[in-house]
């Protein structure tokens, strides 16, 4: 007696997980200092080459929001506004203390650790992403005590 074995081959349904992935922002957090300044940090991965060009928060959190980088000038840490943060395709770019950050200025109140802040990020591609960043304990020793590159004295809005 012959046993016939029918081998059923199920075609694998490949899910569309290649192609255009999504821009992802992970681990967003905020530092809030008693001097009315703070910063938002996160890591960003863009599937295609893009650039973070602007950020925004509610005016009750900070009057002014800029995209900054920290540079060393004559051994001293300085920070300055940048036109944008380049995001090479598929690479993870970190905004972290001592490097790129979303600068928060003119903060009317120090935010307590655990406070959630909506941070809206605008990219050169036109994409806009809002993330919820959580305020962490302020740790002054890792880099907020810096000279501003240009004169901030007169221009602060109150
Ligand atoms: Cu800054």
DSSP secondary structure string for all residues of 86-112: EE-TT-EEEE-TTS-EEEEE--SSPPP
Distance 135 CA to ligand 1 centre (A): 16
Do the domain assignments include residue 150? no
Task: State in Å: Cα 80 to ligand 1 middle.
Answer: 6
Average pLDDT over residues 56-64: 98
- As a whole number, mean pLDDT of residues 149-153 equals 47
Determine the average pLDDT of the residues in 127-146: 77
Domain that holds residue 44: 24-135
Do the domain assignments include residue 60? Answer: yes
- Any domain includes 145: no
104 falls within a domain: yes
pLDDT at 103: 98
CA of 48 to the centre of ligand 1 (A): 26
Q: pLDDT tens for residues 82-135?
A: 999 999 999 999 999 999 999 999 999 999 999 999 999 999 999 999 999 999
Q: Which residues surround ligand 1, an ion (CB under 5 A)?
A: 68, 79, 103
Sign of CA dihedral 58, 64, 101, 54: positive
Say what the pLDDT of residue 18 is. 44
Residue 25 has pLDDT above 60, yes or no: yes
CA of 1 to the centre of ligand 1 (A): 82
Q: Establish if 45 belongs to a structural domain.
A: yes
d(CA 126, ligand 1 centre) in Å: 24
Residue 62 Cα to ligand 1 midpoint, Å, equals 13
Given a cut of 90, whether residue 43 has pLDDT beyond it is yes
* Cα(116) to centroid(ligand 1), Å: 20
Query: Model-level pTM?
Result: 0.76
Check pLDDT > 50 for residue 64.
Answer: yes
Domain count, the chain: 1
**For residue 104, which of 45, 42, 33, 52 has the smallest C-alpha distance?**
33
* Residue 47 belongs to domain with CATH number: 2.60.40.1890
More confident residue, 20 or 28: 28
Mean pLDDT score of the chain:
84
- 16 domain-assigned: no
pLDDT, residue 142, reads 52
Q: Answer yes or no: is 29 within a domain.
A: yes
Flag whether 9 is in a domain. Answer: no
Residue 150 C-alpha from the chain's centroid: 23
Task: Give the pLDDT confidence score for residue 137 in this predicted structure.
Answer: 87
Q: Give how far Cα 34 sits from Cα of 3, 49, 111, 116, 157, Å.
A: 82, 37, 9, 18, 17
Going from the Cα of 106 to the center of ligand 1, the distance in angstroms, rounded, reads 12
């Amino acid at each position: 007696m012959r046993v016939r074995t029918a081998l059923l081959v199920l075609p694998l349904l490949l899910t569309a997980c290649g192609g255009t992935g999504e821009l992802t922002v992970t681990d967003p957090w905020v530092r809030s200092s008693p001097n009315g300044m703070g910063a938002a940090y996160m890591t960003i991965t863009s599937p295609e080459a893009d650039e973070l060009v602007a950020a925004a928060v509610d005016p009750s959190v900070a009057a002014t929001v800029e995209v900054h980088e920290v540079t060393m000038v004559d051994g001293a840490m300085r920070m300055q506004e940048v036109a944008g943060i380049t995001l090479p395709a598929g690479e993870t770019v970190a905004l972290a203390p001592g490097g790129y950050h979303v600068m928060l200025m003119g903060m009317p109140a120090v935010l307590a650790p655990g406070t959630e802040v909506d941070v809206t990020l605008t990219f050169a591609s036109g994409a806009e992403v809002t993330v919820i960043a959580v305020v962490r304990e302020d740790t002054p020793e890792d880099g907020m005590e810096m000279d501003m590159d240009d004169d901030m004295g007169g221009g602060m809005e109150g």
